[in-house]
Structure 1
Amino acid sequence: MEQKDLTYTVKEPTELLKFLLSVMENRSRNSVKSILARGQVSVDDHMETKYNYPLKPGQTVSIMKNKVAKREDVLTGMKILFEDEDIIVINKDAGLLTIATEKEKKLTAYFQLTEYVKRKNPQGRIFIVHRLDKDTSGVMLFAKKEKVKRKLQDDWKDMVKERTYVALVEGDVKNPTGKIKSWLKESKTHMVYSSPVKNDGQLAITHYKKLQSNGRFSLLELQLETGRKNQIRVHMQDIGHSIVGDKKYGASENPIGRLGLHAKVLSFHHPYNNRLMLFRADVPKSFMAKSK
């Protein structure tokens, strides 16, 4: 019989490690810290590894059971939507890195998928085609061969037919639809910004459609004509409606405990048989609830 995840509802403001220690009294502090570090804990709809992550009353904390987490076929913070000999498509959780950083080497989509393919074929490899920010969730594509990666990257503009995101943004977006066009540059401190000078930087074009709004927050559907670094985040700040939880680009609050950005649809022609493929990842429930 498969063990189920443990789920708890937060009753009062606290920090994540403190909360876990209170509900897992039979475990040592180090054991609870390990559970957090292994990515076994999620808050509402995102994986969380920070000890001091602030919890609010009403939030749901889930803990994946140890035996389940240790099973080799379980991937942490993501789910495989499709796989063949050339590509793997996943639905990535908010909170999971795409690739390693100085601080985190193993709890990444790239590392886990590499281990996953090597179990089937010791010579197996994974290649990154595009990236999603750590705090962005949704559909993501990886290649299993270098020549596939090159083909996808070289012909990305022609092969990709649809990239749709949804964003929960601050305030009431007045126009039901819109187009944002600017030239993006990056500062020495890795802040991306729109240049006021035409052709000064990389051209970025984002189309948006308002899905719903309650005045305080709006839910937008976004189509990318270009795929620049932090493009949506900068463009939302440019129109005065920063993405919820995006402190880097002007957000004032974070009511959902994560960045309000999700890659909902990725549609592309398969690199070898040219078949048109379409993958979806459901819009997080917290996005819908906050903008109703």
Structure 2
Amino acid sequence: MACLRKVADQTDEGKRMDKWAAEQFPDESRSRLQQLIKEGHVLVNGDKVKISYRMKNGDEISVSIPAPEPLDVVSENIPLDIVYEDDSVIVVNKPRGMVVHPAPGHMTNTLVNALLYHCHDLSGINGVLRPGIVHRIDKDTSGLLMVAKTDAAHHSLAAQLKDKTTHRVYLTIVHGTLDEDSGTIDAPIGRDEKDRKKMAVTKNHSKSAITHFEVLERFGKYTYLSCRLETGRTHQIRVHMAYIGHPVAGDPKYGPRKTLPIDGQALHAAELGFTHPVTGKFMNFKMDPPTDFENLLGMLRQGNFS
């Protein structure tokens, strides 16, 4: 259970209760916070309030966010493209269209469901919904993902991500032509204040985000890039490329509707490197983009969509 007690100040003055709560708990959905306010888990001066309540300077607010009810995740016999596996880690090539882990309302056909069928000894650090999951890639992003089979491996891989010692490179096709051959985007990312389902470059409740990019090919209206992550924020490459005016092709959330014919964003996790939690050896894996991505590149090279 998460708890918070605070006295509202001038910066809170006039804010709707649900918006204020969303700023305090950025990992919670707006709909869940609104329900919790209705249920009385958010009190102002000891009283229950409506979600539309406007904050006043000096209000005493207390919030208690109950832990979500435990959910059971079933194993499913779903084919996996396993690139590497030993007693500590698994590296998989996730297809576009597959969600990494279950969530309320989407409890089946995820990578975790498939992993539970393949092996029963996944790390339990992230709980029943995300066993073994150290990092994620979006549903409509394909490519390499590392999974921990033991708690010790999970701690090691998570520490490497935090210390920025992993190697993660993505391939992407973006709208427009980048003039520079390479560059770095250093812009903090947080929840979009206007749409809680989106991320944005913002100064409010944001975290440092750094993406290094290199132009591989130019195709007139589109550019083929390699992007190396220094940090790993939610939707980082998608947000950063949209921020500099070159959204990822096929991205329904951050890009234009008129785009290349691909089902989901043209974004692929092509390289993944990390130090093995047991042997201490640095391991690096590479995976070519899926067929539809390669077909797009072929058509662009032939002058289509230019």
> What TM-score do the two structures reach when normalised by structure 2?
0.65
Higher strand share: 1
* Residue pair 1:159, 1:268 contacting (<8 A) in 2 also: no
d(CA) in 2 for partners of 1:287, 1:220: 14
1:276–1:159 Cα change, 3 Å = farther
Query: 3-state SS of the aligned residue for 2:249?
Result: coil
Map of 1:5 onto structure 2: none
Question: What code does the residue aligned with 1:153 have?
Answer: A
Query: Offset at 1:214?
Result: 1.3
Which of 232, 255, 264 is residue 261 of structure 2 equivalent to? 255
Considering only aligned residues, what root-mean-square deviation do their CA atoms show, in Å?
Answer: 2.2
1:242–1:290 Cα change, 3 Å = farther
Map of 1:69 onto structure 2: none
Query: 3-state SS of the aligned residue for 1:247?
Result: coil
d(CA) in 2 for partners of 1:124, 1:217: 41
Map of 1:178 onto structure 2: 183
Query: Offset at 1:186?
Result: 0.5
Identity of aligned residues (%): 33
Map of 1:226 onto structure 2: 231
1:47-126 to 2 correspondences below 5 Å: 75-76=78-79, 78-118=80-120, 126=131
Question: What code does the residue aligned with 2:114 have?
Answer: Q
d(CA) in 2 for partners of 1:288, 1:178: 22
1:205-220 to 2 correspondences below 5 Å: 205-220=210-225
What stretches of structure 1 of length at least 5 have no aligned partner? Answer: 1-71
> What TM-score do the two structures reach when normalised by structure 1?
0.68
d(CA) in 2 for partners of 1:287, 1:134: 19
Which of 295, 298, 302 is residue 289 of structure 1 equivalent to? 298
Which of 214, 222, 244 is residue 239 of structure 1 equivalent to? 244
Query: 3-state SS of the aligned residue for 2:183?
Result: strand
Query: What is the total number of aligned residue pairs between the two structures?
Result: 214
d(CA) in 2 for partners of 1:151, 1:92: 22
Larger radius of gyration: 2
Query: Offset at 1:289?
Result: 2.1
Question: What code does the residue aligned with 1:256 have?
Answer: I
Map of 1:147 onto structure 2: 152
Q: Deviations over 1:89-117 (max 9, x none)?
A: 00011001101133432211111111111
* Residue pair 1:180, 1:207 contacting (<8 A) in 2 also: yes
Query: 3-state SS of the aligned residue for 1:266?
Result: strand
Map of 2:286 onto structure 1: 280
Map of 2:201 onto structure 1: 194
d(CA) in 1 for partners of 2:189, 2:276: 30
1:73–1:202 Cα change, 3 Å = closer
What stretches of structure 2 of length at least 5 have no aligned partner? Answer: 1-74, 124-130, 302-306
* Residue pair 2:102, 2:108 contacting (<8 A) in 1 also: yes
d(CA) in 1 for partners of 2:164, 2:180: 31
Q: Deviations over 1:179-237 (max 9, x none)?
A: 11111111362211112x5x962111111111112112211000111111111001100
* Residue pair 1:106, 1:112 contacting (<8 A) in 2 also: no
Question: What code does the residue aligned with 1:178 have?
Answer: G
Query: 3-state SS of the aligned residue for 1:101?
Result: coil
Map of 2:167 onto structure 1: 162
* Residue pair 1:219, 1:291 contacting (<8 A) in 2 also: no
Answer with 278-287 or 228-237: which moved more.
Answer: 278-287
Q: Deviations over 1:3-31 (max 9, x none)?
A: xxxxxxxxxxxxxxxxxxxxxxxxxxxxx
d(CA) in 2 for partners of 1:111, 1:103: 14
